[in-house]
Amino acid sequence: MSLTAMNTQLRFWLNKQLRFSPYFYQKLKAVQQESKLSFSELECLRNKRFLKLVNQAYSKSSFYRDLYDQHGVNLQQIQNTEDIHKLPIITKYDLQAHITKMFVGNRFNQTQAYTSGTSGPPLRVYRDYQSTILEGAYHWRQKISFGHYPGMKTVVLRANLHRDKRESYDPFTQSLFLSSYQLSEKNGPWYYEKISQFAPHAIYAYPSSMESLANIFSAIGKSVSVPFVFTSSETLYQHQRSKVERVFNTCTVDWYGNAERSIALEQKSDGKYHELPLYSVNEYYDEYTVATGLINFSLPLIRYRVDDIISLDKTSPTTASGCRQIATIQGRSDDVLLLPDGSRIGMIWGVFDRIPNLLRAQVIQKQLEKFQVNLVVGPEFGLQDEKLLRTKIAEFIGEQANYTLSYVSDDQIVRAKSGKYKLIINDLLCKEPETSDSVTT
């Protein structure tokens, strides 16, 4: 075995020890027990977490202390979640500008992650080990409720691999990682052979990747049965769900969340999206959502504005746990980039990740042969920044990418009438009606 292969196997083994430790199974059991608790018990736990979060943020974070003092917040008047409206709303720009002041955790017990940047530049967020494990426990509670358990064979079709690497296998979790960047009709037979021979119990994927794979298999006259497809990170449209379920003879299960871990909604066996009682406190407005995350105490996000528009299903009663059912989720969809070889590239936010002095970017495609990348940059943006950007475009999209870079002002970035911003605007794709920008459940 080569040194590279040994390092890969060691990384997989360490990841398994961290993510599937006894602590993980302890948290998994705890979140599974939530469904058995009464409304009053859940309300008590929710209030307890909320008050701990607010008081810890005020005592340990200079950002929250200054913010609450400025707004005249009296913490003695914050008794439960009913008082949440007495606290000011914060935004992703506050997070971007003051993250070091907002972080209150242990520097040695943290990991970094980045938001997708689909409504602005990618934002850095911090997570601690406890919140990472708890997030995984919630995900696995959903999967287990459908009959999919840790250790069952899984294909992962997400952005885990760069464009130049097609596959990687983790024997410790029985996960086969396949590139989401090489999906094309030309490569269709290869994907079919890999998936059919591996015979996974589930596929984890972006909705756009699964739709592309379904289109490819349909074009080459192939189909394969996979019991479950678990999707997340993008809007899952009903037409995508129907297509995927037809081609893969599968049950498609979706998860809504964000990199900030401020909100999560799970699709249940009834096909509907539901709140998680102890994950977050959610407020739904006409133009945005406000969420208070209850699982990451290292980076408290209290009344954090999320630009997605989420509507409650007012025809369905609140469940016994106090959780509400969701009617629509709007605002997370992006077009995809089309390449001459038939590849469809979505979720390309990694191209613009960690580019110094890059404030905003948007990809415009009007011709199959090329696309335009509009950049809003700061005054310190230079040749080295542009060189790094071009390197990452080649890494994520491919050397054959034909594009032009254009430096524009922020008011030249294309936005919808509602002010929503999309990372990719593709005029080659058939546009859906305005009403289809939401997920109808």
Domain segments of the chain as ranges? 3-136+259-330, 337-440
Q: Is 249 helix (H, G, I), strand (E, B) or coil?
A: coil
Q: How far is CA 156 from CA 29, 169, 183, 315, in A?
A: 25, 10, 13, 36
Q: From CA 89, how far away is CA 293, in angstroms rounded?
A: 13
Q: From CA 267, how far away is CA 37, in angstroms rounded?
A: 20
Going by pLDDT thresholds of 50, 70 and 90, the confidence category of residue 333 is low
Going by pLDDT thresholds of 50, 70 and 90, the confidence category of residue 319 is low
Q: From CA 85, how far away is CA 196, in angstroms rounded?
A: 52
Closest by alpha carbon to 119, among 435, 331, 329? 331
- Report which DSSP code applies to 415: B
Is the distance from CB of 397 to CB of 364 less than 8 angstroms? no
Is the distance from CB of 393 to CB of 403 less than 8 angstroms? yes
Does the pLDDT of residue 140 top 50, yes or no?
yes
Going by pLDDT thresholds of 50, 70 and 90, the confidence category of residue 8 is low
Per this entry, what is the length of the chain? 441
Sign of the alpha-carbon torsion through 400, 422, 167, 126: positive
Q: Is 73 helix (H, G, I), strand (E, B) or coil?
A: coil
Q: What is the mean pLDDT of residues 382-389?
A: 94
Q: What is the mean pLDDT of residues 383-402?
A: 88
Question: Picking from 141-150, 297-306, 313-322, 347-356, which range would have the lowest pLDDT averaged per residue?
Answer: 313-322
Going by pLDDT thresholds of 50, 70 and 90, the confidence category of residue 423 is confident
Where is 332: in which H helix or E strand?
A: none
Tokens found for residue 125: 């967020």
**pLDDT tens-digit readout, 21-43:** 899 999 999 999 998 899 999 99
Residue 440 is predicted with a pLDDT of: 36
Amino acid occupying residue 94: D
Residue 332 is predicted with a pLDDT of: 58
Residue 439 is predicted with a pLDDT of: 39
Q: Is 275 helix (H, G, I), strand (E, B) or coil?
A: strand
Q: Is 388 left (phi over 0), alpha (psi -120 to 50) or beta?
A: alpha
Give the CATH fold of the 3-136+259-330 domain: Rossmann fold (3.40.50)
Going by pLDDT thresholds of 50, 70 and 90, the confidence category of residue 285 is very high
Q: What is the mean pLDDT of residues 120-126?
A: 70
Range from 160-164, 208-212, 344-348, 434-438 that averages highest in pLDDT = 208-212
Report CA 203 to chain centroid distance, whole Å.
16
CB burial of residue 126 (10 Å; 0-12, 13-18, 19+) = buried
Closest by alpha carbon to 64, among 97, 98, 96, 92? 98
Tell me if domain 3-136+259-330 and domain 337-440 are identical in fold. Answer: no
Residues 21-47: b if buried by 16+ CB within 10 A, e if exposed: eeebeebbeebeebeebeeeebbeebb
Tokens found for residue 172: 């410790």
Sign of the alpha-carbon torsion through 213, 221, 193, 342: negative
Cβ neighbors of 377 (< 8 A, separation 6 or more) are: 357, 358, 359, 385, 407
Residue 436 is predicted with a pLDDT of: 28
Residue 425 is predicted with a pLDDT of: 87
- CATH homologous superfamily for 337-440? ANL, C-terminal domain (3.30.300.30)
Does the pLDDT of residue 406 top 70, yes or no?
yes
Residue 431 is predicted with a pLDDT of: 44
| Torsion, CA 351, CA 186, CA 241, CA 258, rounded to 10 | -10
Going by pLDDT thresholds of 50, 70 and 90, the confidence category of residue 5 is low
